[in-house]
Chains A and B, each alone.
Chain A
Amino acid sequence: DAKTTQPPSMDCAEGRAANLPCNHSTISGNEYVYWYRQIHSQGPQYIIHGLKNNETNEMASLIITEDRKSSTLILPHATLRDTAVYYCIVIIYNFNKFYFGSGTKLNVKP
């Protein structure tokens, strides 16, 4: 699986957009980008995933660069409840196994 690189922590003001970057420069053509988050002492929560097109759902938007070497998760209007560790994971389609990196601790501040 492709290795991912994320900043260890980020701050964001409540109500503003949170943009979380992820580098996956060794990604191959059949690998998807998945984003999960883990609120303290809970199981990870699925946010969004994509292959090469930008994706949007009720939680977030995922922007994948044209060369697919990096992506950005966007939370359009961050709230205090969005404070969590956000994980970017790259997996081969139909391989299923997730290997978590260290993620980004997002601190949403009032």
Chain B
Amino acid sequence: GAVVSQHPSWVICKSGTSVKIECRSLDFQATTMFWYRQFPKQSLMLMATSNEGSKATYEQGVEKDKFLINHASLTLSTLTVTSAHPEDSSFYICSALTDRDLETQYFGPGTRLLVL
């Protein structure tokens, strides 16, 4: 149980285009999901908290107009990187809190984004 998937697993795009990454909870409902970014050889950095049916809350320094988050259902949150640039190239990881355990986060496999 508590499986989280992400799609796509990797994506290459041209500079200036927008990229959407999906995060799904497969066997549970997730009222809260989180989005992280990880640069090579660095730790995970929390970007935002996504709550179903309400606006996401962003960590300090994360541009909300650059990283659009939508949590339209209890099993799906999406992160859209708008007008992507090479410096947005990173490993994006989502996590979710289950309705059975409100403290433990379960992580997706990550999405590797390369912006050319």
Q: Chain B's interface: helix, strand, loop or mixed, by majority?
A: strand
Q: Are A42 and B103 in contact (CB under 8 A)?
A: no
Q: Are A101 and B43 in contact (CB under 8 A)?
A: yes
Chain A residues within an 8 Å CB radius of B25:
none
Q: Are B44 and A41 in contact (CB under 8 A)?
A: no
Total CB contacts across the A-B interface at under 8 A: 57
C-beta contact mask, B32-65 vs A, less than 8 Å → 1, else 0? 1010100000011110010000000000000000
C-beta contact mask, B92-114 vs A, less than 8 Å → 1, else 0? 01010100001111111110100
Q: Which residues of B does A touch, CB under 8 Å?
A: 4, 6, 32, 34, 36, 43-46, 49, 91, 93, 95, 97, 102-110, 112
Q: Are B109 and A34 in contact (CB under 8 A)?
A: no
Which of A93, A94, A96, A102: most chain B Cβ within 10 A? A96
A36–B46 Cα distance when bound, in Å, is: 15
Chain A residues within an 8 Å CB radius of B45:
100
Total interface residues on A, CB under 8 Å, equals 23
Chain B residues within an 8 Å CB radius of A44:
44, 93, 95, 107
Chain A residues within an 8 Å CB radius of B6:
43
Chain B residues within an 8 Å CB radius of A43:
4, 6, 93, 95, 107-110
Q: Which residues of A does B touch, CB under 8 Å?
A: 32, 34, 36, 38, 41-46, 49, 87, 91, 93-94, 96-103
Partner of B34 from the list A87, A91, A93, A98 (CB cut-off 8 Å) is A98
Which of B97, B102, B103, B112: most chain A Cβ within 10 A? B103
Q: Are A93 and B46 in contact (CB under 8 A)?
A: no
Q: Are A32 and B103 in contact (CB under 8 A)?
A: yes
Q: Are A42 and B110 in contact (CB under 8 A)?
A: yes
Distance of B113 from chain A, by nearest CB (Å):
13
A36–B95 Cα distance when bound, in Å, is: 12
Question: Nearest 5 pairs between A and B by C-beta?
Answer: A43-B107, A100-B44, A100-B43, A44-B107, A43-B110
